[in-house]
Every structure is written in C-alpha cells, then in structure tokens.
C-alpha cells in the first residue's frame, strides 16, 4: 500500500479523535438496544424510518473505518504512525467486524424484498451491526485506565453496565422464542422477558414464567448455565470492588485495629494509647496514611524529582530563604529532603546533642527553648527552619527545639547540607548570616 504523505495521521490521544470515539460508542449503545428490539418486534418497523436509520448507521460506521485508517496506534507503548503498518494491524484485528457492521444490508437486500425477503430476514442481517459491541468493549476498557476516576468505581459502573446489556440481549432472545402473546403489548412482553431473565440469571427462579416448548426449555437451560457462572462472577466482583474501592481507608482501619489490640494486650497507659491513636489519625488526615518516601522510592530519578518538586512546592514557596534561589539549588535540596512527623511536645533537637540534620517546617510550629525550658527564645512556624547552627559550625546543638503541636518537618542531612553550601556560595552566605543573627539574639536574651 502506498503512503499518502499529504494527509496527517491522527494521534490516538487527539481530543477530536476521542470525541469521535464517544460518538461511535453512543451509536453502538443505541444499536445494541434498538436493533434486537426491532428484530423481535418486527411488526413495529416502518420501512421508511428504518431506511433512514440504516443510512445514518452506515455513514457513521464507514466514517469510523476511515478515521481508524488515519489514526496512529500504540503497540507495546510505541506509536505506530506508518499508514502501511496501521492498515496491517487494523486488518488483523478489527477490520472485518467493522466492515460487517458498516455494510448497508438494508439497501443491498432491500431491492430483493419484492423477491420474497421479508422484513424480518432483513432485520436479522441488521443484527450484524451489533458486532460493533466488541469495539465498545475495547473503548470502555481504556476508560478503566483513565486517571480521572477511581478505577474501582469505573470497574463497578462498567460491570453494572455490561450486566444490563447482557440482560437486555437475553430478554430479547426470550421474546423472540416466546413469539407473540395475544393481548399483551410489546412493552409489557419485553418487561416480562426482562423479569424472567433477571430471575433466571440471579438464580431466583420464581417459576411464574416457565418454558413451554422444547426451544424455550433449551434456551432456559443455556441461560441457567451461563447465568449461574455469571451470577457468581458478578457477586465475586462486586465484593472485591467494594473491598477495594477505598483500599487506603481499609488498610488504615486494619492497621489501627492491630495497633489497638497490641496496646491493650501490653497494657499501655490509656493516655499513651490515645497519643498513638492521635498520631495515626493525624497521618491519615494529612496524607491518607501514605508514606511519601516509600511511594517515591520506586520511581526513576526524573519522575521522582518532578513528583517531589510538586509535593514540596508549597513548602518551598513558604521558605523566605529560598525566594529568588536558582532552580538547581531548590532541586538539589528537594531531592534530599526526608519527611518527618512529630507529635505535640516532642523534642526535635536537644541542647548539646550532636546535630546530624537541619529541619524545614512544612506545617505546625516549634519553640526554641533553653535547656530547662524556662526561656522561650523564639517560636518558629511553617516556612522557617532550624538546626543549621550545629551543622554550619560542627558544634553541639545550641538550644532545644520542642514542638507546640503536630509538625510536618523535612530534614536535610549534614552531607547534603555541606554539598549544597559548597555548590551555592551565595546561599551559604545567607544561611550563615541568619545563623549568626540567631546566635546573637539568643545570647542577648540569656
């Protein structure tokens, strides 16, 4: 096949392309619902309206084939944009089904109608369009991977959707083999059939509608066999979906149960138990129980940097020290920050201890206090930092730092701190000035 270099191929992620896919999906749904109904209640068809509908369907499905020929595809995560390869891939996968569902049977066979082809036979050919349902399966599968919605919610909605489609098709099948019931309207008959389908598939089987003829008995046997499997599948899926829908919350609850059982078993004082519970609830409220470090751990460096920058952006923006700093410096620091949570009244650093880290405050506040905690030299809050003096001067901690409330801190270890200062002398100057100022302030208030 020759390459048409003039026409550009659509990208599979193209928005217009996506909108078209949604249009085709809607048309497929319409086809799945209406064509089986018009086949089983063929008396309802008026030739004219059916001809118009058939024309529209043929146009839409043919346009779909043409668009697919002009859309690059993704195979094993690689974009295939060569027309020739796209054609071969399409030929080997969906082309036959798409062609069959696009054929204008009504018009091909319509001419022969006089020659004895009845409306009902024509309608049967129209059923070929329902093959397009396989296409819808593929489109909807992709929706499962959309990051916009919780994948479990999407799975649940799709499951219900497929059950309804299956029930509809089986109900149409039942109406067909049941034939006309005198004195019953089409809609009543359909509702009866749907009721029969659901009671059979759900293995309820009230027995008020029972198969009479051999064909009906055979049909019922098939539906019962498939129904029993389907029912088990549905129940299993729904149970697992409900369990997974908020897996983070379920894990949190399980963790809390284990910890509480342990604490009761080891007779921890009630006050301490309360603090442990409080701590976990804080983790849940602020980060849904996820440990940032372990989530980032598996990512490659480039992604990890981007995610870390995004997560810490707010915190970095709050730190006046970083205002106007070069991007490279911020990147260097962010990549080396470790999150740490402290509960109210914790000592983050104690006077005279050796210092290995400095800290940035993301949330919460701390007091800089004397060793006996009688004097509060300063209160530091979100966007400020501490612990730099011991690292700069390689001396023990000059004061004690005590949290006033729950604090989300980020620590930077001495090695990274030294490296950053060495690489960025202007930043080193700034931080040294600040440390000097703090030391003077503290000395003067002693």
Task: Provide the binding-site residues for ligand CMP, judged by CB under 6 A.
Answer: 349, 355, 368, 377-378, 380, 386-390, 397-399, 401, 438, 441-442
Compute the least distance from the CB of residue 316 to ligand CMP, in Å: 18
210 closest CA partner among 195, 231, 225, 190:
195
In the complex with ligand CMP, which residue's Cβ is closer, 39 or 401? 401
**Closer of 165 and 321 to ligand CMP (Cβ):** 321
For every residue of 207-255, DSSP letters joined together read SSS---SHHHHHHHHHHHHHHHHHHHHHHHHHHHHHHHHTHHHHHHHHH
C-beta neighbour count of 68 within 10 angstroms: 23
- DSSP character at residue 378: E
Contact (Cβ atoms closer than 8 angstroms) between residue 107 and residue 62: no
Distance of alpha carbon 102 from alpha carbon 245, whole angstroms? 39
Nearer to ligand CMP, 21 or 399 (CB): 399
Residues 6+ apart with CB under 8 A from 413: 336, 338, 356, 357
Shortest reach from residue 282's CB to ligand CMP, in Å: 24
CB atoms within 10 A of CB 256: 16
Q: How far is the CB of 306 from ligand CMP (least distance, A)?
A: 30
Distance from CA of residue 197 to its chain's centroid?
33
Shortest CB 303 distance to ligand CMP, Å: 33
User: Cβ 318 to ligand CMP, closest distance in Å?
Assistant: 16
Q: Which residue lies nearest ligand CMP, judged by its C-beta?
A: 390
Q: Which is nearer to ligand CMP, 172 or 337 (CB)?
A: 337
State which residue, 192 or 438, has the beta carbon closest to ligand CMP: 438
Let me know: does 68 contact 90? Beta carbons within 8 Å.
yes
Question: Least distance (Å) from ligand CMP to the CB of residue 410?
Answer: 14
Whichever of 60 and 361 has its CB closer to ligand CMP, that residue is 361
* DSSP assigned state of 10: B
Nearest distance from C-beta of residue 386 to ligand CMP, angstroms: 4
> Are the C-beta atoms of 97 and 136 separated by less than 8 Å?
no
Closer by beta carbon to ligand CMP, 169 or else 321: 321
């Amino acid at each position: 096949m020759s390459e048409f270099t003039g026409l550009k191929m659509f990208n599979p992620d193209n928005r217009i392309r996506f909108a078209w896919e949604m249009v085709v999906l809607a048309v497929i749904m319409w086809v799945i619902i209406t064509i089986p109904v018009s086949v089983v209640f063929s008396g309802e068809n008026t030739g004219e309206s059916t001809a118009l509908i058939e024309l529209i369907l043929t146009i839409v499905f043919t346009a779909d084939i043409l668009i697919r020929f002009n859309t690059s595809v993704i195979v094993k995560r690689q974009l295939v944009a060569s027309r020739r390869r796209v054609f071969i891939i399409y030929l080997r996968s969906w082309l036959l089904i798409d062609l069959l569902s696009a054929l204008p049977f009504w018009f091909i066979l319509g001419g022969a109608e006089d020659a004895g082809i009845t409306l009902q036979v024509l309608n049967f050919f129209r059923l070929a369009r329902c093959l397009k349902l396989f296409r819808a399966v593929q489109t909807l599968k992709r929706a499962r991977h959309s990051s916009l919605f919780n994948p479990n919610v999407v799975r649940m909605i799709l499951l219900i959707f497929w059950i309804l489609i299956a029930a509809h098709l089986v109900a149409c099948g039942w109406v067909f083999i049941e034939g006309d019931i005198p004195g019953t309207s089409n809609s009543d008959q359909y509702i009866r059939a749907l009721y029969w389908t659901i009671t059979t598939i759900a293995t309820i089987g009230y027995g008020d509608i029972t198969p009479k003829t051999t064909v009906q008995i055979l049909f019922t046997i098939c539906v019962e066999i498939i129904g029993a499997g389907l029912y088990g599948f549905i129940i299993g899926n729904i149970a697992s979906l409900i369990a997974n829908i908020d897996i983070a919350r379920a894990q949190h609850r399980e963790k809390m149960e284990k910890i509480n059982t342990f604490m009761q078993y080891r007779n921890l004082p009630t006050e301490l138990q309360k603090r442990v519970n409080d701590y976990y609830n804080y983790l849940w409220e602020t980060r849904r129980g996820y440990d940032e470090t372990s989530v980032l751990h598996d990512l490659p460096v480039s992604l990890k940097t981007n995610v870390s920058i995004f997560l810490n952006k707010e915190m970095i923006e709050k730190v006046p020290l970083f205002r106007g700093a070069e991007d490279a410096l911020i990147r260097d620091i962010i990549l080396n920050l470790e999150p740490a949570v402290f509960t109210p009244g914790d000592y983050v650093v104690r006077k005279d201890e050796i210092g290995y880290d400095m800290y940035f405050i993301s949330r919460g506040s701390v007091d800089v206090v004397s060793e006996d905690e009688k004097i509060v030299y300063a209160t530091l809050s979100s966007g400020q930092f501490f612990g730099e003096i011991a690292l700069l001067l390689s001396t023990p901690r000059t004061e004690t730092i005590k949290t006033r409330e729950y604090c989300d801190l980020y620590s930077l270890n001495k090695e990274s701190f030294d490296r950053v200062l060495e690489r960025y002398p202007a930043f080193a100057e700034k931080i040294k000035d600040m440390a000097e100022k703090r030391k003077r302030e503290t000395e003067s208030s002693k």
